[in-house]
Structure 1
Amino acid sequence: MAEIAIRNVTKTFHDRARARDILAVDTVNLTIADHDFVCLLGPSGCGKSTLLNMIAGFEKPSTGSIEVGGARVERPGADRGVVFQQPTLMPWLDVADNVAFHLKLKGVRRRGRREQAQSFIDLVGLTGFERHFPSELSGGMNQRVGIARALLMNPRVILMDEPFAALDAQTKMEMQEELVRIWERIRCTIVFVTHSVDEALVLGSRIAVMTRRPGRIRDDFAFDLPRPRDVTSPAFNDAKRRILSLIRDEAATARRAA
């Protein structure tokens, strides 16, 4: 059984100011296996975040269906952890309490929350920062807190919406390596939204390339280059040329339609 099954999904938004409908996602079909690491790659505004939000249950498809673990997605659920572009931490809580916040909502006592949070704090490399507050951490460290918080929910699927976009190049590279290490250890399913070709090829075991809006799946291919990946290798650059060719073709299509 597929971990995630997206079947004939479209999403239309109504623009009240202009009294018209906008088709954001058009007839997307995508099957994602258990323990896969899929990168949704596409230009800004192509609908990749909208598709991720529908998997999360924050948005509902206009037509079609999405299933996770064989169950139809109707609303957000604990089987799907979400990491946003900004970590959305609570500034008045320290690292341990931010990571364990959903346990507080479930009524777990503070000592028990911190004990459960500790292994995930260790996993993301924040040992020793348990009592630090978000304002005392770097952007990359705050994203680690967001990842630990998502992992603590023990989800089947982690959904990530350009979580490293605001980081500097060196920190981004470190976070990419850290995320791969975590994924290889816990073997959950990850769907990662990005508009960076290099980031998709560094991270993904599969790359799904989306068209300009309305977003469709233009190409979908497995990428099994050994890790850590050599970005100068012929295989890496062959895949990069393949994707860049699609992007250039999309740009040319958009110019002709203008």
Structure 2
Amino acid sequence: MPVIEINGVCKAFRDAKRNVEVTALAGVDLAVERNQFICLLGPSGCGKSTLLNMIAGFERPTEGSVKVDGQLVTGPGADRGVVFQQPTLMPWLPVWENVAFHLLMRGGQKGAHRRTAQTFIDMVGLTGFEDHYPAELSGGMSQRVGIARALLMNPRVILMDEPFSALDEQTRMQMQGELVRLWQHHEGTVVFVTHGIDEALTLGTHVVVMSARPGKIRAVVPLDLPRPRDITSPAFNDLKRYVLEMLHVDRSNS
């Protein structure tokens, strides 16, 4: 059984300012298997983040259903960790308390929670920064804290909404490599929203190409490329051309 099942999902919003209804997604069907790394790719406004938010339970579909492990998604849950575009750290807490935040909210022994957090701090390469505050961290380091916090919850599914978009190119490439390493170690399922074709082809086991609004799934492209991926290789660039063709379908038909 797929870990994530999206069946006939449509999403419409009411634009109160213009007094019109906007259809963000129309007839989306997608099945995501365990341990897959799915990259959602498409033009701005096609509903990628909306689809991610419905898997997270932050939004509900207007029509259709979203299930995780066979259970209908009706709200957020500990089985789904979320990493946002901005790391949303608590500036008054040091790194280890940001990572252990969900454990600390439950109460219990603070020392035990710190030891648990340390495992994930080490995992994301922040050893030695446990007592630093968010204002003392770079953008890449802040995102590592957000990823560590999501991993600590031991979710079946990790949802990521353009987490590296604000980073410089060198840091972004470093973080992409770290994320692949963590995914392989964690053996979870990842759904990752991106605007970057190279990023999608570097990270994913599959790229889900979405159409312009209302968002539909144009193609699901499996990626049978060795890791680490060589973005200059003929195979990589063949796939890049194919994905570009899928993205240009709407433009050529407009």
Q: Pick the TM interval, shorter chain.
A: over 0.9
* Gap regions ≥5 residues in structure 2: none
Q: Which residue of 2 aligns with 1:65?
A: 65
**Structure 1 residue ranges (4+ consecutive) displaced by more than 4 angstroms after TM superposition:** none
SS at match of 1:225: coil
Partner of 1:119: 119
Distance 2:75 2:249 in 1: 36
Q: Which amino acid in structure 2 is aligned with residue 113 of structure 1?
A: H
Alignment TM-score, normalising by the size of structure 1: 0.97
Aligned residue number for residue 133 of structure 1: 133
Distance 1:246 1:221 in 2: 10
> Which residue type is aligned with residue 189 of structure 2?
T
| Identical columns (%) | 62
1:247, 1:184 → 2: CA distance?
A: 29
**2:42 is the alignment partner of 1:42:** yes
Distance between the aligned counterparts of 1:36 and 1:6, measured in 2? 15
* 2:102 counterpart residue number: 102
Aligned partner letter, 1:237: N
2:231 aligned partner: 231
SS at 2:125 equivalent: coil
RMSD of aligned residue pairs (Cα, Å)? 0.7
Deviation at 1:65, TM superposition (A): 0.3
- 2:11 matched residue in structure 1: 11
In structure 1, distance between residues paired with 2:102 and 2:52:
21
Give the Cα separation in 2 of the matches to 1:47 and 1:106: 34
Q: Which amino acid aligns with 2:119?
A: S
Match of 1:102, SS?
helix
Q: Deviations over 1:37-79 (max 9, x none)?
A: 0000011111000000000000000000011011110000000
Name the CA distance, whole Å, in 1 between partners of 2:118 and 2:158.
19
The aligned counterpart of 2:83 is 83
Tell me by how many angstroms 1:249 deviates: 2.0
How far, CA to CA, are the matches of 2:103 and 2:97 in structure 1? 9
SS, match of residue 121 in structure 1:
helix
1:143 alignment partner, SS class: helix
Count of residue pairs brought into register by the alignment: 254
Contact 2:96 2:114 in 1 (8 A): yes
Partner SS state of residue 59, structure 1: coil
Q: Quote the Cα distance in structure 2 between the aligned partners of 1:245 and 1:47.
A: 20
For structure 1, the 5+ residue unaligned runs are none
Deviation at 1:234, TM superposition (A): 1.2
Paired AA for residue 145 in structure 1: V
In the alignment, the residues of structure 2 paired with residue 185 and residue 11 of structure 1 have an alpha-carbon distance, to the nearest angstrom, of 35
Report the Cα distance in structure 2 between the residues aligned to 1:127 and 1:233, rounded to whole angstroms. 35
User: What residue number does 1:175 align with?
Assistant: 175
Distance in 2, matches of 1:122 and 1:174, equals 16
TM-score scaled by structure 2?
0.99
Letter in 1 for 2:83: V
**Does structure 1 residue 211 correspond to structure 2 residue 211?**
yes
Q: Which amino acid aligns with 1:247?
A: L
Which whole-Å CA distance do the structure 2 matches of 1:154 and 1:243 have between them? 33
